[in-house]
Each structure stands twice: as C-alpha cells, then as structure tokens.
C-alpha cells in the first residue's frame, strides 16, 4: 500500500503536538503544483516492463493489470520515466489550466 493523502483537518495552536507524533507516512500536501509537463502513458503501447516504476524518484508509478499508472498528486513531471521507456509508451505533455 502506498501512503495516501490525508483529509485536511483544521486544528488550533494548542492542539499542535510538541513533537512529530503523527504516524509515519502522514501526507497532507501534494507535489502536483510543481509540474509544468506531465507524463502520459499510452496504454496500447505499454507492456508492463516496470522500468518506469523502478526508476521513478518519487515512486508514483505502479503497474496494474500489466499497465503503468501514475499518481498525479505526487508526480513532479521530471520526465525520467519518458526517457527510460524503451518502447516510447510515455510522452510528456504540457500542463494546461
């Protein structure tokens, strides 16, 4: 299982713990805003070789049913996956909006 994004809960200052007493893998903010380009997987071409999964510095790629999937919440758009993919099943597209 991957660590997941928690729901934001508002807390007042006196509720803030004095030390890091949250559980490990406690995620509250995404990295998607860092991206100017995003990887897009061509499912028809993807053979599930898992090279992109192995080399992703952020670990956002997983392979399900033989096809790669990307967690866009935490992908920073570095483009390593598109370069490592020998069959060219990943292309980088400009972020819009």
Q: Is 18 in the site for another protein (CB under 8 A)?
A: no
C-alpha–C-alpha distance, residues 30 and 73, integer Å: 5
Helix (H) or strand (E) holding 41: strand 37-41
* Closer Cβ to another protein, 35 or 69, answer by number: 35
**Among 67, 72, 78, 91, which residue interacts with another protein (rule: CB under 8 A)?**
78
79 Ramachandran zone, left/alpha/beta (phi>0; psi -120 to 50): left
Residues forming contacts to another protein in the complex (CB under 8 A) are: 1-3, 5, 20, 22-31, 34-35, 47-51, 53-59, 62-63, 66, 74, 76-80, 82-84
């Amino acid at each position: 299982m991957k660590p997941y994004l928690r729901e934001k809960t508002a807390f007042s200052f006196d509720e803030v713990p004095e030390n890091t007493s949250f559980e490990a893998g406690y995620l509250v903010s995404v990295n998607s805003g860092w991206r100017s380009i995003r990887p897009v997987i061509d499912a028809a071409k993807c053979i599930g070789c898992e090279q992109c999964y192995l080399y992703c510095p952020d670990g956002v790629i997983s392979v399900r049913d033989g096809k790669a999937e990307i967690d866009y919440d935490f992908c920073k758009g570095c483009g390593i996956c598109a370069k490592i993919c020998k069959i060219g099943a990943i292309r980088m597209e400009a972020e819009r909006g």
